[in-house]
Structure 1
Amino acid sequence: MTSTRRLSTVILPIHRWHNGGRALWARAEELGFHAAYTYDHLAWRTFRDGPWFGAVPTLTAAAASTERLRLGTLVTSPNFRHPVTLAKELITLDDISGGRITLGIGAGGTGFDATTLRRSDEEPWTPRERADHFDEFVPLLDRLLREPSVTQEGRFYTANEARNIPGCVQRPRLPFAVAATGPRGLKLAARHGQAWVTTGDPKLFESGTPDQSVTAVRGQIDRLGAACEAVGRDAAVLDKILLTGFTPGRPLRSLDAFVDFAGTHFDLGFTEIVVHWPVPDSVFALDAEVFEQIATEALAQLR
């Protein structure tokens, strides 16, 4: 198992670029974060009635404003994306960034992304339908990012001589970080992922305990290992990413609390832990001084 321990952040796309947005991404690089991600949604939860910008344009601007910081989505989904158009945007973004892009990708959920493009008489996809789309989406996107020309007619997605020249800067393509906890998603992570993403067990967020959460996450890692073994792949080659903010307890209340939390999860096998950039008066509210302490001091205490 790799001993890599990285700390990253996710910056919600809620900031006007010339009124503080650009400065946040530059500051993320200054603080030494491994990567800075953003959400890829049309709208999201309580932020729906405020500013919310597109993920790909935001990452493009961030790529032009940073030099070393890895960038990516947490996560993109088929809810409103098509593999052909997404591939073109990702290849462009990978080029502009000089090969610093990671695609976080998942099956999507039941929020506004699931309904915005549907007629009022259309039901959102069921969990099975989301999984069906994801099963087809990921392998086709994989091909589109690797091959200069792709023709494929599927149940949900078609590519007819889709050209993607010159391809990604990162070879054979930019890395996928697959968000999954169910068997079908874990199989996709095992086959196509360079990383795996989890937020923990959502059933435990409101009423579970930190110990229960650790047990649940350990079980997810075990199931990922079994999925990798089933396809003849060593799970140790996949990075394992934990997006914080959705597990019981308050691990970001202080530097010491975060160090304890991060140490426990690194010991489980995670290679990267992601913390939300503070957003005042929201679920991601956090003292700015504590956040910067975590960014600059936590990993040193964990070595």
Structure 2
Amino acid sequence: MSLRLSTVILPHLRWHEGGRAAWQRAEELGFHTAFTYDHLSWRTFRDGPWFGALPTLTAAAAATDRLRLGTLVTSPNFRHPVTLAKELITLDDISAGRITLGIGAGGTGFDATALGQEPWTPRERADRLAEFVPLLDRLLTEDSVTSEGTFYSAHEARNIPGCVQRPRLPFAVAATGPRGLALAARHGQAWVTTGDPKLYETGTPEQSVQAIRAQAGKLADACEAIGRDVAGLDKILLTGFTPDRGRPLESLDAFVDFAGRHAELGFTEIVVHWPIPDSDFAADEKVFERIAMEAPAQLG
């Protein structure tokens, strides 16, 4: 399988002031998927414009024809499986089956307290994700679901006619710990990593590659434990959070070298951030577009 190139378009632009144009340009450039973050606000963008992920993806679905669309990632921090399933089925229908759900445990950012709750511990986040994903799986594949859980319940929740994609839209599970990797192995059609966050500030690119190789090995072990071939699971690397930071987007050659090293680890998809001036995701737009148009052929 050739290495796919995808992008993340943050939902910070008004739709009629650059938002629509970015998604349409992503399709023109040939990106496989355009994702967006599913947060209520995020890091340095907190005090500026920030729009909802699912309405943005719905608008993007209407404005494009071929581009796959998705969240990277949705979490239980402010979502419930019952309402999320209904919205995803609707979005999958509007897009004619072009939706991928990136899903993970979430973190301790602004989403974690926006509803008035105390931030959950890592164990609590893992506990919730372990209940959230299987229930969401059922809600997207069964016409009627009743389930009583510790954190999430459903009572005769109807989801007819279900997804356009069968048996449901794909899950891309973001995980590095054993419980999350087990969920990816059992329920995922893809696995997502950003690398090892402990290496971001002081690590080297070589150390990062080794850490990601170890993560991929643990994913293979999780798949083996349930009798699944890890080769059947797509592996997605969300860039921008490894020690390389933005260097892979400095030139076509730099990106091809970066992507090639990770393709050797078994990755099937590399995701780059759409350039945002004066931010951590600043990049030369001409170089970015050249990478989008030319890198996939060189990596094929």
TM category, shorter = over 0.9
Q: Which residue of 2 aligns with 1:218?
A: 213
Aligned-partner Cα distance in 2 for 1:251–1:28: 19
Instruction: Tell whether 2:268 aligns with 1:275.
Output: no
Aligned-partner Cα distance in 1 for 2:30–2:251: 19
- TM-superposed CA distance for 1:302, in Å, is 1.9
Deviation string 1:167-192 (CA, Å, 9 cap, x unpaired) is 00000000000000000000000000
After TM superposition, the structure 1 = structure 2 runs for residues 222-261 of structure 1, keeping only pairs within 5 Å, are 222-249=217-244, 250-261=247-258
What code does the residue aligned with 1:267 have? E
Aligned-partner Cα distance in 2 for 1:89–1:175: 15
Instruction: Tell whether 2:193 aligns with 1:198.
Output: yes
Q: Which residue of 1 aligns with 2:149?
A: 154
- TM-superposed CA distance for 1:50, in Å, is 0.4
| TM-score normalized with structure 2 length | 0.98
Q: Which residue of 2 aligns with 1:72?
A: 70
After TM superposition, the structure 1 = structure 2 runs for residues 20-35 of structure 1, keeping only pairs within 5 Å, are 20-35=18-33
Q: Which residue of 2 aligns with 1:46?
A: 44
Aligned-partner Cα distance in 1 for 2:2–2:237: 14
Q: Percent identity?
A: 81
- TM-superposed CA distance for 1:267, in Å, is 1.2
C-alpha contact 1:118 1:124 (8 A) present in aligned 2: no
After TM superposition, the structure 1 = structure 2 runs for residues 24-173 of structure 1, keeping only pairs within 5 Å, are 24-119=22-117, 123-173=118-168
Aligned-partner Cα distance in 2 for 1:238–1:4: 14
**Secondary structure of 1:278 counterpart:** coil
What code does the residue aligned with 1:101 have? I
Aligned-partner Cα distance in 2 for 1:299–1:65: 24
- TM-superposed CA distance for 1:200, in Å, is 0.4
- TM-superposed CA distance for 1:301, in Å, is 1.7
Point out where structure 2 has 5 or more consecutive residues left out of the alignment. none
Specify whether residues 301 and 4 from structure 1 end up closer, same or farther in structure 2 by C-alpha distance, changes over 3 A only: closer
Instruction: Tell whether 2:295 aligns with 1:294.
Output: no
What code does the residue aligned with 2:72 have? L
Aligned-partner Cα distance in 2 for 1:163–1:4: 39
What code does the residue aligned with 2:291 have? I
- TM-superposed CA distance for 1:4, in Å, is 3.0
**Secondary structure of 1:268 counterpart:** coil
Aligned-partner Cα distance in 2 for 1:157–1:20: 38
- TM-superposed CA distance for 1:235, in Å, is 0.5
Aligned-partner Cα distance in 1 for 2:279–2:111: 21
C-alpha contact 2:2 2:299 (8 A) present in aligned 1: no
Deviation string 1:80-116 (CA, Å, 9 cap, x unpaired) is 0000000000000000000000000000001001011
Aligned-partner Cα distance in 2 for 1:269–1:66: 30
**Secondary structure of 1:197 counterpart:** strand
**Secondary structure of 2:264 counterpart:** helix
C-alpha contact 2:208 2:242 (8 A) present in aligned 1: yes
Aligned-partner Cα distance in 2 for 1:152–1:273: 36
Q: Which residue of 2 aligns with 1:209?
A: 204
Point out where structure 1 has 5 or more consecutive residues left out of the alignment. none
What code does the residue aligned with 1:124 have? P
Instruction: Tell whether 2:236 aligns with 1:262.
Output: no
C-alpha contact 2:250 2:287 (8 A) present in aligned 1: yes
- TM-superposed CA distance for 1:118, in Å, is 2.0
Deviation string 1:183-239 (CA, Å, 9 cap, x unpaired) is 000000000000000000000011100000000000000000000000110000000
What code does the residue aligned with 1:53 have? F
Deviation string 1:58-77 (CA, Å, 9 cap, x unpaired) is 00000000000000000000
Aligned-partner Cα distance in 2 for 1:55–1:261: 29
Moved over 4 A (4+): none
Q: Which residue of 1 aligns with 2:181?
A: 186
- TM-superposed CA distance for 1:57, in Å, is 0.1
**Secondary structure of 2:18 counterpart:** helix
Aligned-partner Cα distance in 2 for 1:161–1:4: 43
Aligned-partner Cα distance in 1 for 2:243–2:229: 30
Q: Over aligned residues, Cα RMSD in angstroms?
A: 0.6
